[in-house]
Amino acid sequence: MRTSRTNVRFSELQLVCDFYFERQESAGKKRRGTSHIVYKTPWQGDPRVNIQEGRNGKAKPFQIRQVLAAIDRLP
């Protein structure tokens, strides 16, 4: 993911987020009414990570950058 942000499957990004962050209750596992999945982070300020499936089941590159930046901030 760090070397190629354009060829990452959304399901892979979702697994990474599930491992590092807590999925927000309101988003739910079924994602009813929205195509976004929202995760909580443990700090104040920018407390959420938001991901959405792109074309052909791929993750969106800017969201991969945001997830990696959030992971780098973890203690």
pLDDT at position 31 over 60: no
Residues 27/36, Cβ–Cβ less than 8 Å: yes
pLDDT digits (tens, 9 = 90+) for 57-67: 999 999 999 99
Section 17-43 average pLDDT: 79
Say how far apart CA 72 and CA 16 lie, in whole Å: 13
